Structure 1
């Protein structure tokens, strides 16, 4: 199936922009944030920014509540980044839609980014924020027994490695993982999707390699499962997973490979593939019908796994 015409129009309109890897990270981040403020924002009951303790200092989080009741599932969300760009501000719209569709409290995490905070800063921040969420969920309407992790792109990497770390550390207990077009492996050997979709589809192969190389200052870390979770020797015991992949995405094959490995390890896994979408399409929820459909499907999957114990605050 051809790329959705709305997405094709966006790609065509941005054809003259410089490649990501040719722009300094600070300027690139500012550009992403300037674009993000233009998107319409659905209203949720309450939004609050907090600073929480982390291994390298304070971590900024943004908490979204669907209503002011207690007992909601709570999701720590990690934004996409290519390990270098974006923030809780660039993913504000996505998190608002996820909050409304899932009925869950969302804790969006500003984990450390390269080159200022290379590996393992991001995974360390992500695990710390998830542990903090488990300990404090009831203070903002969440149920720590229904703690989940989620993320898109490199943020999905953070979600996966948080789930792995929680499994190996004996907690916190994570009930589910939502992985939107995840980064799961350093591309030592290019999968077919890097060749087929590495140019002209949005995220490029050269930009992804640029991000990886800023993130991993030691080449030996390319094989570290905390950086490349597809290389983890054992995926058993991880929480149920909902994995989204897109046909016009260079990360398509590694996302599908990870879903396959989860299934083979006995993890209940749903793979949802969108054959007319590209990388990052969920960020257009509210503006793109297919993104709205995908977000509604995520909400339905979560609804089958969560119980909201509603009680007034």
Structure 2
């Protein structure tokens, strides 16, 4: 593996801090306890951040970010965190959501979907789709434009974002303008080369993936369902345009790129941004991994191009120029 020295050091530190899933750590509760001890990347200040609960059966907690950048009504991005359908939550991905809100001028709604093994497939899928429908219906109350709703997610969250698009197509609503899939799980049964090439030593391992999938699925047969493995959907036509972010040293690399290729073959505008020299989990970590910054800028630029009307000029560093927002310049955090 040809990582530069600083990247290799970050990989070593992250691997040491991560629960030894599927080996010495087999219980989800213990995995979450250990994972919660980690420090997660911080993001830029927001004009406002608030907690909300989408009422339903079940209720779905969300965190809503209003950036200083952008003009109302803003586009809105529904974000699904990673964590193998088992770990992570609103706090672990707070920095990423702030980064995307600040970099696009969009309202970001981060979704605390139900996690496995307490709630197995398709519980997270149901929550993801319900959250996107709620955001579309409540867009005006969020200061957002219902015609400019996008979805995004990383890893397991990228899977949920992709599946939410499949469900929206199947059920005819809501309209989704764009999908940002960050090193997504697209085929739980994948045997593509990157699953072997990057099976160990790349932070996310084959053992981790096996453990995550055992927690998420009730039976192995469910892995073939398109709502668990969207790469196995019979058709990917008529889906929203997509940017798929992958990492060179990631077991999920090839299935993400295969998903983008199938989208393009089905007539869907789709692009791949491969982060060479990086590994799974890098997105949002540019403070520690400067090489991640180009990918973060590319993701924000793709979202702006797809969603932002009269988009602001891009500064020399690739970030959007800022202008004064109508929201109060305070970063208000409520209680979950």
Normalising by structure 2, we get a TM-score of 0.87
Is the deviation greater in 294-303 or in 270-279?
Answer: 294-303
Tell me if structure 1 keeps the 8 A contact 2:42–2:94.
Answer: no
Mapping 1:113-128, distance limit 5 Å = 113-128=115-130
Structure 1 position 142, deviation (Å): 1.2
User: Using the alignment, how far apart are the partners of 1:258 and 1:119 within structure 2?
Assistant: 21
Any residues of structure 2 matched to 1:1-313 within 5 Å, and which? 2-13=2-13, 19-21=20-22, 22-23=24-25, 24-37=27-40, 39-55=41-57, 57-67=58-68, 70-187=72-189, 190-308=191-309, 312=326
Deviations 1:122-162 (A, max 9, x none): 00000001101111121122111100000000100000010
Q: Which runs of 5+ in 1 are unaligned?
A: none
Deviations 1:233-260 (A, max 9, x none): 0100000000001110000010111011
Q: Does the 8 A contact of 1:36 with 1:89 survive in 2?
A: no
Moved more, 135-144 or 121-130: 135-144
Q: Contact 2:158 / 2:181 at 8 angstroms: preserved in 1?
A: yes
Q: How many aligned residue pairs are there? A: 310
Cα RMSD between the aligned structures?
Answer: 1.9
Structure 1 residues 286, 141: CA separation in 2 closer, same or farther (over 3 Å shift)?
farther
**Contact 2:176 / 2:240 at 8 angstroms: preserved in 1?**
yes
Gapped runs of 5+ residues in structure 2?
311-323, 328-336
Deviation for aligned residue 1:308? 4.4
Give the C-alpha shift of residue 95 in structure 1. Answer: 0.7
Deviation at 1:190, TM superposition (A): 2.2
CA distance in 2, matches of 1:19, 1:279: 16
| Alpha-carbon spacing, 1:40–1:159, altered in 2? closer, same or farther (3 Å) | closer
Mapped partners of 1:15, 1:269: distance in 2 = 32
CA offset digits 1:71-93 (Å, max 9, x no partner) = 11101000001111111110001
Q: 1:62 touches 1:109 (CA, 8 Å); kept in 2?
A: yes
Contact 1:61 1:108 in 2 (8 A): yes
Does the C-alpha gap of structure 1 residues 217 and 180 become closer, same or farther in structure 2, counting only changes over 3 Å?
A: same
